[in-house]
């Protein structure tokens, strides 16, 4: 398999070095992979992919695309890599069909192919009736769909998608994941940033976890899941305003992560499950409900992140 991207010791700072966005990131992406970049807000994900498409230059280190530095071949990268950014795109004064059609033409499609693919995409998005509407006059989700359509049209060999399913309703999210998988089956390499970890789990081959600008882990989903294989997820909904109190009282069971205003979770060893349930029922705490289930990719992500915050046990890739 051909190496599509190779990042070597990439560092990126903003504001003359005052803001460190990426620190010493090295990773490889092979042709045909779907790589999901996961990490909390401000982790450095968008900064990383902007360097992959050549919109930003690394402060130090190298980002190679098919063997050569992105910086030395920005035109080729722009031609081959379809990029969907979080920022509103520049096409908003075009009609929806024009945004797709002209992008297809710019990618070298004949008039006929561009027209055909435009029609197919409008149909998949359920937006045929909106073809003559200006992009700026359609809903946020519809704008995003057309933005994704501009990545899909013309069959670029690589797609880099920054939060492609944001703002979409569940049915449209499913559609976008389907389209990503369809393209991938045709050999397209996909790199995507997402906060929809549970949905991404069904689609991605590999996951890179990033936080505080660093790459904390990169591996196949199944391998990452093995890290928490011997554990169960204990999730508790407390009465409002009680989550801190409850997590303090239950600190003996593990390190708790706040996942909502009144929801906390931790990972416990399978063998400790019955002890944990007993512990909960003995202590009369303001708990509304709890569940004990096998962990999913989201939990792996929290686990890897938690490990980093333990001073003596940092997992380094």
Measured from the CB atom, is 15 or 132 closer to ligand ATP? 15
Measured from the CB atom, is 14 or 275 closer to ligand ATP? 14
Q: For tokens 């937006």, what's the residue? A: 127
43: which 2 tokens? 């982790």
User: Is the sign of the CA dihedral 256, 259, 264, 265 positive or negative?
Assistant: negative
Residues that bind ligand ATP (CB under 6 A): 14-15, 19, 21, 39, 41-47
Q: What is the phi/psi pair of residue 120, to 5°?
A: -60, -45
Measured from the CB atom, is 54 or 254 closer to ligand ATP? 54
Measured from the CB atom, is 42 or 88 closer to ligand ATP? 42
Provide, rounded to whole angstroms, the least separation between the CB of residue 8 and ligand ATP. Answer: 19
Provide, rounded to whole angstroms, the least separation between the CB of residue 47 and ligand ATP. Answer: 3
Measured from the CB atom, is 16 or 282 closer to ligand ATP? 16
User: Is the sign of the CA dihedral 145, 150, 151, 156 positive or negative?
Assistant: positive
Provide, rounded to whole angstroms, the least separation between the CB of residue 196 and ligand ATP. Answer: 12
Half-sphere exposure of 233 (CA within 13 A, CB side): 20
């Amino acid at each position: 398999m051909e190496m599509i991207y190779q990042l070597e010791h990439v560092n990126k700072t903003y504001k003359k070095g005052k803001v460190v966005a990426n620190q010493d990131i090295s990773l490889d992406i092979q042709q045909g992979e779907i790589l999901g970049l996961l990490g909390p807000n401000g982790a450095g994900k968008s900064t990383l992919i902007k360097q992959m498409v050549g919109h930003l230059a690394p402060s130090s280190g190298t980002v190679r695309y098919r063997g050569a530095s992105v910086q030395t071949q920005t035109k080729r990268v722009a031609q081959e890599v379809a990029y969907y950014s979080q920022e509103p795109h520049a096409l908003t004064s075009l009609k929806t069909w024009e945004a797709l059609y002209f992008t297809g033409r710019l990618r070298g499609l004949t008039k006929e192919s561009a027209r055909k693919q435009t029609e197919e995409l409008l149909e998949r998005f359920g937006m045929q009736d909106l073809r003559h509407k200006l992009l700026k006059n359609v809903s946020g989700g519809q704008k995003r769909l057309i933005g994704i359509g501009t990545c899909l049209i013309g069959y670029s060999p690589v797609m880099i998608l920054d939060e492609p399913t944001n703002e979409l309703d569940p049915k449209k999210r499913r559609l976008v994941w389907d389209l990503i998988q369809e393209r991938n089956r045709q050999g397209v390499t996909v790199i995507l940033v997402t906060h929809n970890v549970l949905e991404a789990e069904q689609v991605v081959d590999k996951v890179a976890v990033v936080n505080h600008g660093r790459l904390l882990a990169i591996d196949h989903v199944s391998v990452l899941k093995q890290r928490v294989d011997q554990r169960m997820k204990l999730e508790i909904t407390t009465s409002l305003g009680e989550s801190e109190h409850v997590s303090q009282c239950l600190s003996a069971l593990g390190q708790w992560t706040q996942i909502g205003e009144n929801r906390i979770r931790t990972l416990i060893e399978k063998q400790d499950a019955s002890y944990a349930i007993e512990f909960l029922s003995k202590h009369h705490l303001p708990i509304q409900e709890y569940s004990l289930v096998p962990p999913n990719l989201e939990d792996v992500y929290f686990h890897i992140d938690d490990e980093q915050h333990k001073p003596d046990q940092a997992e380094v890739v």
